[in-house]
Amino acid sequence: MLFQTLDILGTIAFAISGVLTAFSKRLDPFGVFIIAFVTAVGGGTLRDILIGNTPVAWMQDITLIGVVAASVVFALVLRNRLDKLRTSLFLFDTIGLGMFTLIGIEKGIGADLHPLASVALGTITGTFGGVIRDILCNEIPVLFQKEIYATTCIVGGMVYFLLAYFELPMFWVALATIITVIAIRLLAVTLKLSLPSFYPSEK
């Protein structure tokens, strides 16, 4: 129940982030919906395709289409006030990141993958919706440039396997993973952290 709620909150936040990107490209209503949908379910879809878990999740569970559609309508109606919701949206987005990473890891374990491949699958689930969104909008994915997004998922995955190794109850392993992802992301944004750069800094 708790996890289902977190999943839906995350889906809403991802969909709205898609709406905002689509707006900035001045897409038509259908384009806005598709970008929102792809941002929300793209990571999970790629995950399902990579492990052969087909038909992919959103085709089997129609509620996902409904949640995205409702989020798009909500974002359209409130589009001039979304700024005031910025903090809530950021929080939901971070919850979504944690939740999606967790689901990806567990699907990887379910498909008998090595922990390393499972963490990769969790990271893909959490982040590739945004990558596909950026590709469709003809941008170099934000993920590859300055976000600490992916690192966060990877550390979350390491926490998962560390705690699972000590045979903690799965509920606590799952919760700790999500909380780790959320904590790191909040910390990173607060402290304006990013990965160290290879390039000489411009002046």
Binding residues for its own copies, rule: CB under 8 A, are 22-23, 25-32, 34-35, 45, 49-52, 54-56, 58-60, 62, 65, 76, 79, 108, 111, 113-114, 116-117, 120-121, 131, 135-141, 143-146, 150-151, 194-199
Cα dist from 196 to 44, 103, 151, 191, 199, whole Å = 29, 29, 12, 14, 9
Closest to its own copies by CB, 85 vs 143, is 143
Closest to its own copies by CB, 19 vs 102, is 19
Cβ 42 to its own copies, closest distance in Å? Answer: 12
Q: What is the 3-state secondary structure (H, E, C) of 150-188?
A: HHHHHHHHHHHHHHHHCCCCHHHHHHHHHHHHHHHHHHH
Cβ 116 to its own copies, closest distance in Å? Answer: 5
Closest to its own copies by CB, 31 vs 183, is 31
Cβ 41 to its own copies, closest distance in Å? Answer: 11
Closest to its own copies by CB, 98 vs 104, is 104
Q: Please check whether residue 108 is in contact with residue 122, taking contact to mean a CB–CB distance below 8 angstroms.
A: yes
Q: What is the spatial distance between Cα 157 and Cα 175, in angstroms, rounded to a whole number?
A: 12
Closest to its own copies by CB, 2 vs 187, is 187
Cβ 26 to its own copies, closest distance in Å? Answer: 6
Cβ 111 to its own copies, closest distance in Å? Answer: 6
Q: Classify the C-alpha dihedral 72-74-79-83 as positive or negative.
A: negative
Q: Please check whether residue 44 is in contact with residue 51, taking contact to mean a CB–CB distance below 8 angstroms.
A: no
Cα dist from 85 to 33, 102, 155, whole Å = 20, 26, 28
